Chains A and B, each alone.
Chain A
Amino acid sequence: MEFVNPEGLRLDGRRPMEMRQLRAEIGVVSKADGSAVFEMGNTKVIAAVYGPREVQNRSQQSNDQALVRCEYSMANFSTGDRMRKPKGDRRSTEISMVIRQTMEACILTHLMPRSQIDIFVQVLQADGGTRSACINAATLALADAGIPMTDIVTSCSAGFLNGTPLLDLNYVEDSAGGPDVTVGILPKLDKVTLLQMDSKLQMETFETVMQLATEGCKAVASYIREVLLENTKQLESRRGV
Protein backbone atom coordinates (compact mmCIF):
# COMPACT_ATOMS: atom_id res chain seq x y z
CA MET A 1 0.00 0.00 0.00
CA GLU A 2 1.17 3.49 -0.81
CA PHE A 3 1.27 5.67 2.26
CA VAL A 4 3.07 8.60 0.73
CA ASN A 5 2.06 9.50 -2.78
CA PRO A 6 4.56 10.83 -5.38
CA GLU A 7 3.61 14.40 -4.52
CA GLY A 8 4.78 13.73 -0.99
CA LEU A 9 1.36 13.74 0.61
CA ARG A 10 0.03 11.18 3.07
CA LEU A 11 -3.33 9.45 3.00
CA ASP A 12 -5.03 12.19 4.99
CA GLY A 13 -3.33 14.94 2.98
CA ARG A 14 -0.59 15.78 5.45
CA ARG A 15 3.09 16.19 4.66
CA PRO A 16 5.37 13.54 6.25
CA MET A 17 6.58 15.97 8.90
CA GLU A 18 3.20 17.45 9.62
CA MET A 19 1.20 16.91 12.77
CA ARG A 20 -2.51 16.64 13.09
CA GLN A 21 -4.49 19.50 14.52
CA LEU A 22 -4.27 19.81 18.27
CA ARG A 23 -7.04 20.94 20.55
CA ALA A 24 -7.15 20.95 24.32
CA GLU A 25 -9.70 21.98 26.86
CA ILE A 26 -9.26 22.19 30.60
CA GLY A 27 -11.92 21.67 33.23
CA VAL A 28 -14.34 19.32 31.53
CA VAL A 29 -15.24 17.18 34.54
CA SER A 30 -16.70 19.42 37.22
CA LYS A 31 -16.37 17.05 40.17
CA ALA A 32 -12.77 16.08 39.47
CA ASP A 33 -9.82 17.95 40.95
CA GLY A 34 -8.39 18.34 37.49
CA SER A 35 -9.57 17.32 34.06
CA ALA A 36 -8.87 17.85 30.39
CA VAL A 37 -9.84 16.78 26.91
CA PHE A 38 -7.06 16.41 24.39
CA GLU A 39 -7.54 15.95 20.67
CA MET A 40 -4.97 15.04 18.05
CA GLY A 41 -6.88 15.10 14.79
CA ASN A 42 -9.59 12.51 15.20
CA THR A 43 -8.13 10.97 18.32
CA LYS A 44 -9.94 12.29 21.35
CA VAL A 45 -9.10 11.50 24.95
CA ILE A 46 -10.60 12.65 28.23
CA ALA A 47 -8.59 12.62 31.45
CA ALA A 48 -9.68 13.21 35.04
CA VAL A 49 -7.43 13.48 38.09
CA TYR A 50 -8.60 12.94 41.65
CA GLY A 51 -6.35 13.74 44.50
CA PRO A 52 -4.06 13.93 46.31
CA ARG A 53 -6.54 12.21 48.59
CA GLU A 54 -6.60 9.66 51.39
CA VAL A 55 -5.21 6.29 50.36
CA GLN A 56 -8.02 3.81 49.84
CA ASN A 57 -6.01 0.71 50.43
CA ARG A 58 -4.13 1.23 53.67
CA SER A 59 -1.51 -1.38 52.88
CA GLN A 60 -0.37 0.61 49.86
CA GLN A 61 0.13 3.78 51.85
CA SER A 62 3.67 5.00 52.01
CA ASN A 63 4.98 7.50 54.51
CA ASP A 64 7.32 9.42 52.28
CA GLN A 65 5.58 9.68 48.95
CA ALA A 66 2.26 9.74 47.18
CA LEU A 67 0.81 6.74 45.46
CA VAL A 68 0.02 7.29 41.79
CA ARG A 69 -2.61 5.17 40.14
CA CYS A 70 -3.77 5.20 36.58
CA GLU A 71 -6.65 3.63 34.77
CA TYR A 72 -6.89 3.58 31.01
CA SER A 73 -9.99 2.54 29.18
CA MET A 74 -11.38 2.73 25.72
CA ALA A 75 -14.98 3.65 25.13
CA ASN A 76 -16.90 1.00 23.23
CA PHE A 77 -17.84 3.52 20.61
CA SER A 78 -14.32 4.78 20.14
CA THR A 79 -13.35 2.47 17.29
CA GLY A 80 -14.97 1.82 13.94
CA ASP A 81 -16.02 -1.75 14.72
CA ARG A 82 -17.92 -1.75 17.95
CA MET A 83 -16.27 -4.32 20.13
CA ARG A 84 -17.08 -5.17 23.68
CA LYS A 85 -13.73 -5.49 25.34
CA PRO A 86 -13.41 -6.90 28.79
CA LYS A 87 -12.16 -4.40 31.34
CA GLY A 88 -8.58 -4.99 32.29
CA ASP A 89 -7.44 -6.71 29.15
CA ARG A 90 -3.74 -6.92 28.43
CA ARG A 91 -3.57 -3.89 26.20
CA SER A 92 -5.25 -1.52 28.62
CA THR A 93 -3.31 -2.80 31.64
CA GLU A 94 -0.11 -2.23 29.73
CA ILE A 95 -1.06 1.30 28.67
CA SER A 96 -2.23 2.09 32.20
CA MET A 97 1.15 1.10 33.49
CA VAL A 98 2.97 3.07 30.81
CA ILE A 99 1.01 6.21 31.61
CA ARG A 100 1.47 5.74 35.33
CA GLN A 101 5.23 5.37 35.02
CA THR A 102 5.51 8.34 32.70
CA MET A 103 3.50 10.60 34.98
CA GLU A 104 5.22 9.38 38.11
CA ALA A 105 8.50 10.53 36.63
CA CYS A 106 7.43 14.14 36.68
CA ILE A 107 5.15 14.35 39.74
CA LEU A 108 6.93 15.46 42.91
CA THR A 109 5.46 12.60 44.91
CA HIS A 110 7.55 13.29 48.01
CA LEU A 111 5.61 16.50 48.64
CA MET A 112 2.37 14.63 49.23
CA PRO A 113 3.10 11.79 51.61
CA ARG A 114 0.36 9.40 52.74
CA SER A 115 -1.91 10.25 49.83
CA GLN A 116 -2.87 8.91 46.48
CA ILE A 117 -3.44 10.45 43.09
CA ASP A 118 -5.82 8.79 40.68
CA ILE A 119 -5.59 9.41 36.98
CA PHE A 120 -8.42 8.20 34.78
CA VAL A 121 -8.05 8.38 31.03
CA GLN A 122 -10.61 7.28 28.54
CA VAL A 123 -10.36 7.21 24.78
CA LEU A 124 -13.47 8.71 23.25
CA GLN A 125 -12.34 8.45 19.64
CA ALA A 126 -9.46 6.29 18.50
CA ASP A 127 -7.54 7.18 15.37
CA GLY A 128 -3.98 6.16 16.14
CA GLY A 129 -1.66 7.67 18.71
CA THR A 130 -3.99 7.07 21.63
CA ARG A 131 -1.04 6.41 23.89
CA SER A 132 0.50 9.84 23.30
CA ALA A 133 -2.86 11.59 23.42
CA CYS A 134 -3.55 9.96 26.80
CA ILE A 135 -0.24 11.16 28.21
CA ASN A 136 -0.83 14.69 26.97
CA ALA A 137 -4.34 14.73 28.41
CA ALA A 138 -3.09 13.37 31.74
CA THR A 139 -0.42 16.09 31.93
CA LEU A 140 -3.00 18.79 31.42
CA ALA A 141 -5.32 17.29 34.00
CA LEU A 142 -2.52 17.00 36.57
CA ALA A 143 -1.48 20.60 36.03
CA ASP A 144 -5.10 21.65 36.39
CA ALA A 145 -5.39 19.73 39.66
CA GLY A 146 -2.53 21.80 41.07
CA ILE A 147 -0.23 18.83 41.58
CA PRO A 148 3.44 19.84 41.75
CA MET A 149 5.48 18.56 38.84
CA THR A 150 9.05 19.11 37.72
CA ASP A 151 8.00 19.58 34.13
CA ILE A 152 5.12 18.83 31.83
CA VAL A 153 5.40 15.52 29.98
CA THR A 154 4.44 15.52 26.35
CA SER A 155 4.29 12.66 23.97
CA CYS A 156 4.13 12.09 20.24
CA SER A 157 4.55 9.16 17.91
CA ALA A 158 6.41 8.73 14.66
CA GLY A 159 6.75 5.94 12.14
CA PHE A 160 8.65 4.86 9.09
CA LEU A 161 6.69 3.84 6.00
CA ASN A 162 7.59 3.77 2.30
CA GLY A 163 11.11 4.83 3.19
CA THR A 164 9.99 8.10 4.75
CA PRO A 165 9.78 9.03 8.40
CA LEU A 166 6.23 10.06 9.25
CA LEU A 167 5.15 12.15 12.22
CA ASP A 168 2.03 11.46 14.28
CA LEU A 169 0.62 8.30 12.69
CA ASN A 170 -3.11 7.90 12.26
CA TYR A 171 -5.00 4.61 12.50
CA VAL A 172 -4.45 3.51 8.90
CA GLU A 173 -0.73 4.19 9.05
CA ASP A 174 -0.51 2.64 12.49
CA SER A 175 -2.14 -0.61 11.41
CA ALA A 176 0.15 -0.93 8.39
CA GLY A 177 2.50 -2.92 10.55
CA GLY A 178 5.45 -0.64 10.14
CA PRO A 179 7.55 0.62 13.04
CA ASP A 180 5.75 2.91 15.45
CA VAL A 181 7.90 4.88 17.86
CA THR A 182 6.16 6.60 20.76
CA VAL A 183 8.32 9.10 22.61
CA GLY A 184 7.56 11.00 25.80
CA ILE A 185 9.84 13.81 26.85
CA LEU A 186 10.28 16.44 29.52
CA PRO A 187 10.79 19.40 27.22
CA LYS A 188 12.41 21.74 29.74
CA LEU A 189 14.90 19.21 31.02
CA ASP A 190 15.32 17.66 27.60
CA LYS A 191 14.95 14.18 29.00
CA VAL A 192 13.18 11.13 27.66
CA THR A 193 10.70 9.46 29.97
CA LEU A 194 9.02 7.11 27.52
CA LEU A 195 10.27 5.27 24.49
CA GLN A 196 8.36 2.45 22.90
CA MET A 197 8.64 0.84 19.50
CA ASP A 198 6.77 -1.83 17.60
CA SER A 199 8.63 -3.92 14.98
CA LYS A 200 12.18 -3.30 13.86
CA LEU A 201 14.07 -0.33 12.55
CA GLN A 202 17.62 0.24 11.41
CA MET A 203 19.93 2.08 13.71
CA GLU A 204 20.38 5.14 11.46
CA THR A 205 16.72 5.46 10.57
CA PHE A 206 15.72 5.02 14.18
CA GLU A 207 17.75 8.09 15.06
CA THR A 208 15.94 10.24 12.51
CA VAL A 209 12.52 8.85 13.44
CA MET A 210 13.14 9.47 17.10
CA GLN A 211 14.41 12.95 16.35
CA LEU A 212 11.19 13.60 14.45
CA ALA A 213 9.03 12.33 17.30
CA THR A 214 10.96 14.51 19.76
CA GLU A 215 10.32 17.54 17.58
CA GLY A 216 6.64 16.59 17.62
CA CYS A 217 6.70 16.41 21.42
CA LYS A 218 8.16 19.90 21.58
CA ALA A 219 5.43 21.23 19.32
CA VAL A 220 2.82 19.60 21.56
CA ALA A 221 4.57 21.08 24.61
CA SER A 222 4.40 24.62 23.29
CA TYR A 223 0.71 24.18 22.57
CA ILE A 224 -0.01 22.72 26.01
CA ARG A 225 1.89 25.55 27.70
CA GLU A 226 -0.15 28.08 25.80
CA VAL A 227 -3.41 26.46 26.90
CA LEU A 228 -2.29 26.22 30.52
CA LEU A 229 -1.09 29.80 30.70
CA GLU A 230 -4.30 31.09 29.24
CA ASN A 231 -6.29 29.03 31.73
CA THR A 232 -4.22 30.26 34.67
CA LYS A 233 -4.55 33.88 33.61
CA GLN A 234 -8.27 33.49 33.19
CA LEU A 235 -8.71 31.96 36.63
CA GLU A 236 -6.64 34.68 38.23
CA SER A 237 -8.43 37.50 36.45
CA ARG A 238 -11.84 36.13 37.44
CA ARG A 239 -10.82 35.71 41.02
CA GLY A 240 -9.75 39.32 41.31
CA VAL A 241 -8.32 40.70 44.51
Chain B
Amino acid sequence: MRGLQLSLDKGQKLRFERAFEVLESLSSKANSDASVIVADDISVNNEDAILKGHGTAEMNDRLVATLCGVVERVNKLVYVRPLRARYKPEIGDIIIGRVIEVAPKRWKLEINFSQDAVLMLSSMNLPDGIQRRRTAVDELNMRSIFEENGVICAEVRGFQHDGCLHLQARSQKYGKLKRGQLLTIPPYLVKKRKQHFHHLDQYGIDLILGCNGFVWVGEHVDVRDDMVEDLSDKSEKQKVKSWNTLGDEEVEAYTPPDTRQNICRSANAVRVLSTLGFTITVEIITEIVELSKSMDLEVHEMLGAEFYVIVAENEAERRSLPTKRR
Protein backbone atom coordinates (compact mmCIF):
# COMPACT_ATOMS: atom_id res chain seq x y z
CA MET B 1 0.00 0.00 0.00
CA ARG B 2 1.14 3.48 -0.83
CA GLY B 3 3.33 5.11 1.78
CA LEU B 4 2.56 2.42 4.27
CA GLN B 5 5.59 0.59 5.53
CA LEU B 6 4.51 -1.25 8.56
CA SER B 7 5.79 -4.36 10.16
CA LEU B 8 2.57 -6.15 10.89
CA ASP B 9 2.56 -9.39 12.78
CA LYS B 10 0.37 -12.25 11.66
CA GLY B 11 -2.68 -11.36 13.71
CA GLN B 12 -2.56 -7.72 12.69
CA LYS B 13 -2.24 -8.67 9.04
CA LEU B 14 -5.32 -10.85 9.24
CA ARG B 15 -7.36 -8.14 10.96
CA PHE B 16 -6.16 -5.62 8.41
CA GLU B 17 -7.24 -7.80 5.53
CA ARG B 18 -10.58 -8.52 7.13
CA ALA B 19 -11.30 -4.83 7.58
CA PHE B 20 -10.50 -4.12 3.94
CA GLU B 21 -12.63 -7.02 2.79
CA VAL B 22 -15.56 -5.52 4.64
CA LEU B 23 -14.94 -2.15 3.01
CA GLU B 24 -14.68 -3.74 -0.40
CA SER B 25 -17.90 -5.69 -0.01
CA LEU B 26 -19.69 -2.55 1.16
CA SER B 27 -18.63 -0.50 -1.83
CA SER B 28 -19.29 -3.21 -4.39
CA LYS B 29 -22.92 -3.23 -3.29
CA ALA B 30 -23.18 0.51 -3.66
CA ASN B 31 -21.89 0.87 -7.20
CA SER B 32 -21.29 -2.12 -9.36
CA ASP B 33 -18.50 -1.81 -11.90
CA ALA B 34 -18.50 1.94 -12.24
CA SER B 35 -14.71 1.88 -12.02
CA VAL B 36 -12.99 2.33 -15.33
CA ILE B 37 -9.39 2.56 -16.42
CA VAL B 38 -7.74 4.29 -19.36
CA ALA B 39 -9.26 3.25 -22.70
CA ASP B 40 -12.16 1.34 -21.20
CA ASP B 41 -15.47 1.61 -23.00
CA ILE B 42 -18.17 3.53 -21.19
CA SER B 43 -21.51 2.00 -22.02
CA VAL B 44 -23.96 4.63 -23.15
CA ASN B 45 -27.22 4.38 -24.94
CA ASN B 46 -26.38 5.69 -28.37
CA GLU B 47 -29.91 6.83 -29.04
CA ASP B 48 -29.85 9.30 -26.19
CA ALA B 49 -27.98 12.49 -26.74
CA ILE B 50 -25.12 12.62 -24.26
CA LEU B 51 -22.66 15.23 -23.21
CA LYS B 52 -19.06 14.14 -22.95
CA GLY B 53 -17.50 15.38 -19.74
CA HIS B 54 -14.00 15.35 -18.34
CA GLY B 55 -12.02 12.18 -18.68
CA THR B 56 -13.88 10.93 -21.70
CA ALA B 57 -13.16 10.92 -25.40
CA GLU B 58 -14.79 9.60 -28.50
CA MET B 59 -12.99 6.92 -30.38
CA ASN B 60 -14.44 5.05 -33.35
CA ASP B 61 -17.97 6.15 -32.42
CA ARG B 62 -17.61 4.85 -28.91
CA LEU B 63 -17.14 6.65 -25.65
CA VAL B 64 -13.91 5.71 -23.89
CA ALA B 65 -12.32 6.82 -20.65
CA THR B 66 -9.04 8.68 -20.69
CA LEU B 67 -8.49 8.41 -16.96
CA CYS B 68 -8.65 5.83 -14.25
CA GLY B 69 -11.59 6.54 -12.02
CA VAL B 70 -15.30 6.22 -11.56
CA VAL B 71 -17.95 6.95 -14.17
CA GLU B 72 -20.48 9.51 -13.02
CA ARG B 73 -23.70 10.32 -14.82
CA VAL B 74 -25.65 13.49 -14.24
CA ASN B 75 -28.65 13.67 -16.56
CA LYS B 76 -27.08 13.79 -20.02
CA LEU B 77 -23.56 14.42 -18.82
CA VAL B 78 -21.17 11.51 -18.58
CA TYR B 79 -17.79 12.05 -17.01
CA VAL B 80 -15.03 10.18 -15.23
CA ARG B 81 -14.17 11.27 -11.72
CA PRO B 82 -10.47 10.61 -11.31
CA LEU B 83 -9.12 9.31 -8.05
CA ARG B 84 -5.43 9.98 -7.80
CA ALA B 85 -4.87 13.19 -9.69
CA ARG B 86 -3.76 16.70 -9.03
CA TYR B 87 -6.22 19.26 -7.75
CA LYS B 88 -8.58 20.83 -10.21
CA PRO B 89 -9.67 24.28 -9.01
CA GLU B 90 -13.27 25.37 -8.96
CA ILE B 91 -14.40 28.91 -8.24
CA GLY B 92 -15.09 29.46 -4.57
CA ASP B 93 -12.97 26.57 -3.31
CA ILE B 94 -11.13 27.20 -0.10
CA ILE B 95 -7.53 26.24 -0.54
CA ILE B 96 -4.24 26.38 1.28
CA GLY B 97 -1.05 27.21 -0.52
CA ARG B 98 2.60 27.89 0.02
CA VAL B 99 4.22 31.06 -1.24
CA ILE B 100 7.03 30.28 -3.62
CA GLU B 101 7.69 33.69 -5.06
CA VAL B 102 7.01 37.31 -4.31
CA ALA B 103 6.56 38.97 -7.68
CA PRO B 104 5.52 42.52 -8.57
CA LYS B 105 2.07 43.13 -7.06
CA ARG B 106 1.46 39.43 -6.60
CA TRP B 107 2.42 36.30 -4.76
CA LYS B 108 2.87 32.98 -6.51
CA LEU B 109 1.52 30.04 -4.62
CA GLU B 110 2.03 26.33 -4.94
CA ILE B 111 -1.39 24.70 -4.57
CA ASN B 112 -0.94 21.21 -6.03
CA PHE B 113 -2.36 22.32 -9.38
CA SER B 114 -0.69 22.03 -12.77
CA GLN B 115 0.32 25.69 -12.52
CA ASP B 116 1.15 28.05 -9.74
CA ALA B 117 -1.71 30.18 -8.48
CA VAL B 118 -1.53 33.96 -8.32
CA LEU B 119 -2.68 36.05 -5.38
CA MET B 120 -2.75 39.70 -6.34
CA LEU B 121 -1.97 42.35 -3.77
CA SER B 122 -5.17 44.09 -4.82
CA SER B 123 -7.35 41.04 -4.21
CA MET B 124 -6.66 40.76 -0.53
CA ASN B 125 -7.51 42.77 2.51
CA LEU B 126 -4.64 44.70 3.94
CA PRO B 127 -3.68 43.80 7.49
CA ASP B 128 -4.80 47.19 8.77
CA GLY B 129 -8.23 46.47 7.33
CA ILE B 130 -8.55 49.74 5.45
CA GLN B 131 -10.07 49.76 1.99
CA ARG B 132 -7.92 51.84 -0.31
CA ARG B 133 -5.86 51.83 -3.45
CA ARG B 134 -2.65 49.88 -3.19
CA THR B 135 0.29 52.21 -3.43
CA ALA B 136 3.88 51.63 -4.38
CA VAL B 137 4.71 51.60 -0.69
CA ASP B 138 2.34 48.69 -0.17
CA GLU B 139 4.06 46.93 -2.97
CA LEU B 140 7.43 47.40 -1.32
CA ASN B 141 6.07 46.10 1.96
CA MET B 142 4.62 42.93 0.48
CA ARG B 143 7.11 40.76 2.31
CA SER B 144 5.74 42.03 5.60
CA ILE B 145 2.40 40.44 4.72
CA PHE B 146 3.49 37.12 3.24
CA GLU B 147 7.00 35.86 2.87
CA GLU B 148 8.44 33.07 0.77
CA ASN B 149 7.56 29.62 2.12
CA GLY B 150 4.73 31.06 4.18
CA VAL B 151 1.47 29.10 4.33
CA ILE B 152 -1.63 30.93 3.22
CA CYS B 153 -5.31 30.20 3.13
CA ALA B 154 -7.31 31.73 0.28
CA GLU B 155 -10.26 31.27 -2.01
CA VAL B 156 -10.25 30.49 -5.73
CA ARG B 157 -11.34 33.55 -7.63
CA GLY B 158 -11.21 32.12 -11.12
CA PHE B 159 -9.20 31.80 -14.26
CA GLN B 160 -8.02 34.97 -15.87
CA HIS B 161 -8.25 35.30 -19.62
CA ASP B 162 -4.54 34.52 -19.91
CA GLY B 163 -5.16 31.17 -18.25
CA CYS B 164 -3.65 32.03 -14.87
CA LEU B 165 -5.44 30.92 -11.76
CA HIS B 166 -6.23 33.84 -9.49
CA LEU B 167 -6.96 33.68 -5.79
CA GLN B 168 -8.50 36.13 -3.37
CA ALA B 169 -8.35 36.62 0.36
CA ARG B 170 -10.92 39.26 1.13
CA SER B 171 -11.84 38.25 4.63
CA GLN B 172 -10.30 38.05 8.05
CA LYS B 173 -10.53 34.27 8.01
CA TYR B 174 -8.14 34.06 5.08
CA GLY B 175 -4.51 34.99 5.26
CA LYS B 176 -1.36 33.77 6.81
CA LEU B 177 -1.40 30.60 8.86
CA LYS B 178 0.88 30.43 11.83
CA ARG B 179 1.74 27.99 14.57
CA GLY B 180 0.61 24.70 13.25
CA GLN B 181 1.28 21.94 10.76
CA LEU B 182 0.62 21.68 7.06
CA LEU B 183 -0.22 18.23 5.78
CA THR B 184 -0.51 17.22 2.16
CA ILE B 185 -2.95 14.51 1.26
CA PRO B 186 -4.41 13.37 -2.06
CA PRO B 187 -7.18 15.88 -2.95
CA TYR B 188 -9.76 13.21 -3.74
CA LEU B 189 -9.97 12.41 -0.04
CA VAL B 190 -11.27 15.87 0.83
CA LYS B 191 -14.98 16.23 0.25
CA LYS B 192 -16.36 19.60 -0.75
CA ARG B 193 -18.63 20.90 1.96
CA LYS B 194 -20.20 24.09 3.17
CA GLN B 195 -17.64 24.40 5.93
CA HIS B 196 -13.93 23.97 5.48
CA PHE B 197 -12.85 26.00 8.50
CA HIS B 198 -13.33 24.16 11.71
CA HIS B 199 -12.66 25.25 15.22
CA LEU B 200 -12.30 22.29 17.50
CA ASP B 201 -13.10 23.98 20.75
CA GLN B 202 -12.32 21.05 22.98
CA TYR B 203 -8.71 20.95 21.73
CA GLY B 204 -8.26 24.66 21.16
CA ILE B 205 -7.18 24.12 17.58
CA ASP B 206 -8.17 25.22 14.11
CA LEU B 207 -8.55 22.73 11.32
CA ILE B 208 -8.72 23.82 7.72
CA LEU B 209 -9.41 21.19 5.09
CA GLY B 210 -8.25 22.80 1.86
CA CYS B 211 -9.98 21.51 -1.25
CA ASN B 212 -6.58 21.10 -2.86
CA GLY B 213 -5.55 18.40 -0.41
CA PHE B 214 -3.58 20.67 1.88
CA VAL B 215 -4.73 20.37 5.45
CA TRP B 216 -3.84 22.85 8.14
CA VAL B 217 -3.86 21.98 11.80
CA GLY B 218 -2.92 24.87 14.04
CA GLU B 219 -3.54 26.73 17.22
CA HIS B 220 -6.87 28.47 17.36
CA VAL B 221 -6.81 32.15 16.51
CA ASP B 222 -9.74 34.38 17.15
CA VAL B 223 -10.87 36.04 13.98
CA ARG B 224 -11.20 39.60 15.08
CA ASP B 225 -11.47 42.78 13.21
CA ASP B 226 -8.29 44.69 13.81
CA MET B 227 -10.08 47.98 13.37
CA VAL B 228 -12.28 47.36 16.37
CA GLU B 229 -9.25 46.93 18.57
CA ASP B 230 -9.18 50.39 20.03
CA LEU B 231 -6.14 52.39 20.80
CA SER B 232 -6.93 52.81 24.48
CA ASP B 233 -6.38 49.09 24.80
CA LYS B 234 -2.80 49.51 23.73
CA SER B 235 -1.82 51.82 26.51
CA GLU B 236 -3.37 49.48 29.01
CA LYS B 237 -1.39 46.63 27.56
CA GLN B 238 1.80 48.54 28.05
CA LYS B 239 0.99 48.99 31.71
CA VAL B 240 0.42 45.29 32.04
CA LYS B 241 3.71 44.65 30.32
CA SER B 242 5.66 46.52 32.92
CA TRP B 243 4.74 44.18 35.73
CA ASN B 244 4.37 41.02 33.71
CA THR B 245 7.42 38.78 33.72
CA LEU B 246 6.62 37.46 30.26
CA GLY B 247 6.80 40.10 27.58
CA ASP B 248 3.73 40.80 25.51
CA GLU B 249 5.28 39.31 22.39
CA GLU B 250 6.41 36.28 24.28
CA VAL B 251 2.87 35.61 25.48
CA GLU B 252 1.60 35.91 21.95
CA ALA B 253 4.20 33.54 20.56
CA TYR B 254 3.65 30.94 23.20
CA THR B 255 1.56 27.86 22.54
CA PRO B 256 0.69 25.77 25.57
CA PRO B 257 1.99 22.20 25.50
CA ASP B 258 -1.52 20.77 25.63
CA THR B 259 -2.47 22.57 22.45
CA ARG B 260 0.74 21.46 20.82
CA GLN B 261 -0.06 17.87 21.68
CA ASN B 262 -3.56 18.24 20.32
CA ILE B 263 -2.19 19.68 17.09
CA CYS B 264 0.14 16.73 16.69
CA ARG B 265 -2.59 14.27 17.59
CA SER B 266 -4.98 15.64 14.98
CA ALA B 267 -2.17 15.83 12.43
CA ASN B 268 -1.32 12.20 13.06
CA ALA B 269 -4.98 11.27 12.70
CA VAL B 270 -4.97 12.90 9.27
CA ARG B 271 -1.75 11.10 8.39
CA VAL B 272 -3.15 7.70 9.35
CA LEU B 273 -6.41 8.27 7.50
CA SER B 274 -4.75 9.50 4.33
CA THR B 275 -2.26 6.63 4.14
CA LEU B 276 -5.13 4.23 4.53
CA GLY B 277 -6.99 6.13 1.81
CA PHE B 278 -10.12 7.00 3.78
CA THR B 279 -12.19 10.12 3.23
CA ILE B 280 -11.23 12.91 5.57
CA THR B 281 -13.86 14.95 7.40
CA VAL B 282 -13.86 16.72 10.75
CA GLU B 283 -16.10 14.10 12.30
CA ILE B 284 -13.77 11.28 11.39
CA ILE B 285 -10.70 13.19 12.54
CA THR B 286 -12.22 13.96 15.94
CA GLU B 287 -13.35 10.37 16.20
CA ILE B 288 -9.82 9.13 15.61
CA VAL B 289 -8.37 11.65 18.04
CA GLU B 290 -10.86 10.58 20.69
CA LEU B 291 -10.11 6.96 19.95
CA SER B 292 -6.41 7.50 20.46
CA LYS B 293 -7.07 9.39 23.69
CA SER B 294 -9.39 6.75 25.04
CA MET B 295 -6.76 4.14 24.31
CA ASP B 296 -4.22 6.17 26.24
CA LEU B 297 -1.84 6.30 23.31
CA GLU B 298 1.05 8.70 23.14
CA VAL B 299 1.11 10.99 20.14
CA HIS B 300 3.90 9.10 18.42
CA GLU B 301 2.23 5.76 19.02
CA MET B 302 -0.56 6.79 16.69
CA LEU B 303 1.72 6.07 13.76
CA GLY B 304 2.43 2.55 14.94
CA ALA B 305 1.14 -0.54 13.16
CA GLU B 306 -1.44 -1.41 15.80
CA PHE B 307 -3.22 1.92 15.51
CA TYR B 308 -3.45 1.63 11.72
CA VAL B 309 -5.19 -1.70 12.12
CA ILE B 310 -7.57 -0.28 14.70
CA VAL B 311 -8.43 2.70 12.52
CA ALA B 312 -9.12 0.39 9.57
CA GLU B 313 -11.38 -1.79 11.70
CA ASN B 314 -13.10 1.25 13.12
CA GLU B 315 -13.78 2.58 9.64
CA ALA B 316 -15.15 -0.75 8.45
CA GLU B 317 -17.47 -0.86 11.42
CA ARG B 318 -18.58 2.72 10.99
CA ARG B 319 -19.44 2.25 7.34
CA SER B 320 -21.34 -0.97 7.88
CA LEU B 321 -23.58 0.58 10.52
CA PRO B 322 -25.80 2.99 8.52
CA THR B 323 -26.61 0.35 5.92
CA LYS B 324 -28.10 -1.82 8.62
CA ARG B 325 -30.29 0.99 9.83
CA ARG B 326 -31.87 1.53 6.47
Q: Are B37 and A238 in contact (CB under 8 A)?
A: no
Residue among A112, A114, A237 facing the most chain B CB atoms (10 A cut-off)? A237
A232's partner among B1, B68, B110, B116 (CB-CB below 8 A) is: B68
- Indicate whether A130 reaches chain B with its CB closer than 8 angstroms: no
**A231 to B: closest C-beta gap in Å:** 8
CA distance in complex: A30, B1 (Å): 10
Complex interface bits, A143-163 against B, C-beta within 8 A gives 1, otherwise 0? 111111111100000000000
Complex interface bits, B273-301 against A, C-beta within 8 A gives 1, otherwise 0? 00011110000000000000000000000
Q: Are B84 and A237 in contact (CB under 8 A)?
A: no
Q: Are A239 and B83 in contact (CB under 8 A)?
A: yes
Q: Are A232 and B69 in contact (CB under 8 A)?
A: yes
Q: Are B35 and A233 in contact (CB under 8 A)?
A: yes
Q: Are A146 and B67 in contact (CB under 8 A)?
A: yes
Q: Are B83 and A145 in contact (CB under 8 A)?
A: no
CA distance in complex: A189, B60 (Å): 9
Residue among A27, A114, A115, A240 facing the most chain B CB atoms (10 A cut-off)? A240
Across the A-B interface, how many residue pairs have beta carbons closer than 8 Å?
A: 122
Residue among B36, B37, B57, B116 facing the most chain A CB atoms (10 A cut-off)? B37
Complex interface bits, A125-147 against B, C-beta within 8 A gives 1, otherwise 0? 00000000000000000011111
Q: A188-B64, A238-B23, A239-B278 are contacts. A149–B38 as well, Cβ < 8 Å? A: yes
In the bound complex, residues from chain A placing their C-beta under 8 Å from that of B57 are 108, 150
CA distance in complex: A239, B35 (Å): 13
Q: Are A235 and B277 in contact (CB under 8 A)?
A: yes
A236's partner among B27, B66, B116, B163 (CB-CB below 8 A) is: B27
- Indicate whether B85 reaches chain A with its CB closer than 8 angstroms: yes
Q: Are B278 and A240 in contact (CB under 8 A)?
A: yes
CA distance in complex: A63, B164 (Å): 11
- Indicate whether B3 reaches chain A with its CB closer than 8 angstroms: yes
Q: A51-B114, A237-B24 are contacts. A27–B1 as well, Cβ < 8 Å? A: yes
- Chain A contributes a number of interface residues (CB within 8 A of B) equal to 44
- Indicate whether A203 reaches chain B with its CB closer than 8 angstroms: no
Q: Are A115 and B68 in contact (CB under 8 A)?
A: no
Q: Which B166-208 residues have C-beta < 8 A from chain A?
A: 188-189
Known contacts A33-B86, A53-B114, A150-B57; can you find 20 more A-B pairs with CB under 8 A? A33-B84, A33-B85, A52-B86, A52-B114, A54-B114, A63-B163, A149-B66, A150-B66, A151-B39, A187-B39, A188-B39, A188-B59, A229-B35, A229-B37, A232-B69, A238-B20, A238-B23, A239-B277, A240-B27, A240-B315
List the 7 closest A-B pairs by CB distance, nearest first: A146-B85, A27-B2, A30-B3, A52-B114, A237-B27, A238-B277, A115-B114
A residues whose Cβ falls under 8 Å from a Cβ of B: 26-28, 30, 33-34, 51-54, 63, 66, 108, 112-115, 143-152, 187-189, 225, 228-229, 231-241
